[in-house]
């Protein structure tokens, strides 16, 4: 857990350094089109309110942006979403409105179910997606973003289910697949460089 969190922060710091070097250079090369979207999100679902930290890094080409995102999602079960994101500038060049959508996989961090300790068994990779819009407020060469989104993450657990097999005269595990689809609204606050 601590190793995964440390790796995530090292990745964000490394990308920040690359972006700072790219913005310092005024050459029109591929790195000048590189951007990093880093957001803190307040997630509100039907049963709870929680938070997420997301970082998306990729390249801007005219009105389109495409990048790879990773984050840490605290909603219901702590997880790490890994996804591909696409953005489109709807209006504006400096103060702009962007629509975005992303889709990918959701990896559960802690394999122990603290809500239901009697439910043991491994977690499987689920789906993750979100869509929404961000409004950009320029700050020198960077930007502050404020936005709203609708997101969904899937949690799948193969719950151990021991039953007696009279033919073999022993107990056998026949796992039961429990699947949760967690839909929530996200209020987003971020920084783009």
Mean pLDDT, 10 residues at a time, over the chain (193 residues)? 54 53 52 91 93 96 94 93 96 89 94 67 93 95 95 92 86 89 96 94
For residue 15, the model assigns a pLDDT of 53
Distance CA 111, CA 171 (A): 24
Distance, C-alpha 6 to centroid of its chain: 16
Concatenating the DSSP letter of every residue in 84-145 gives: EEEEEEEE-SSS-EEEEEEEEEEEES--S-SS-TT----EE-EEEEEEEEEEEEEETTEEEE
Q: What pLDDT is attached to residue 44?
A: 96
- Residue 97 CA to residue 90 CA, distance in Å, equals 6
Q: Give me the pLDDT at residue 135, please.
A: 97
| CA torsion angle 78 59 149 131 (round to 10) | -100
What pLDDT was estimated at residue 36?
95
Pick the CATH number of 2-26+38-192 from 2.40.440, 2.40.160, 1.10.3470, 2.60.40: 2.40.160
User: For position 163, what pLDDT does the model report?
Assistant: 86
Domain boundaries, the chain: 2-26+38-192
Q: Are 131 and 23 contacting, i.e. CB atoms less than 8 angstroms apart?
A: no
Which residues, 6+ apart, have CB-to-CB distance to 76 below 8 Å?
45, 47, 48, 50, 155, 180, 182
pTM of the model: 0.78
């Amino acid at each position: 857990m601590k190793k995964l969190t440390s790796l995530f922060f090292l990745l964000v710091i490394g990308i920040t350094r690359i972006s700072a070097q790219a913005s310092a250079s005024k050459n029109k090369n591929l790195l000048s089109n590189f951007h990093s979207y880093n957001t803190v999100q307040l997630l509100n679902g039907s049963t709870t309110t929680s938070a997420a930290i997301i970082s998306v890094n990729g390249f801007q080409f005219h009105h389109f942006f495409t990048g790879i995102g990773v984050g840490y999602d605290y909603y219901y079960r702590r997880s790490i979403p890994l996804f591909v994101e696409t953005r489109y500038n709807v209006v504006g060049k400096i103060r702009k409105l962007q629509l975005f959508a992303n889709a990918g996989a959701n990896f559960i961090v802690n394999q122990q179910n603290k809500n239901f300790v009697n439910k043991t068994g491994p977690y499987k990779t689920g789906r993750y997606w979100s869509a929404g819009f961000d409004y950009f407020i320029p700050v020198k060469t960077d930007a502050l973003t404020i936005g709203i989104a609708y997101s969904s993450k899937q949690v799948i657990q193969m719950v151990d289910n021991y039953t007696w097999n009279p033919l073999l005269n022993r107990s056998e595990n026949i796992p039961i697949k429990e699947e949760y689809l967690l839909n929530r609204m996200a209020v987003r606050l971020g920084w783009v460089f």
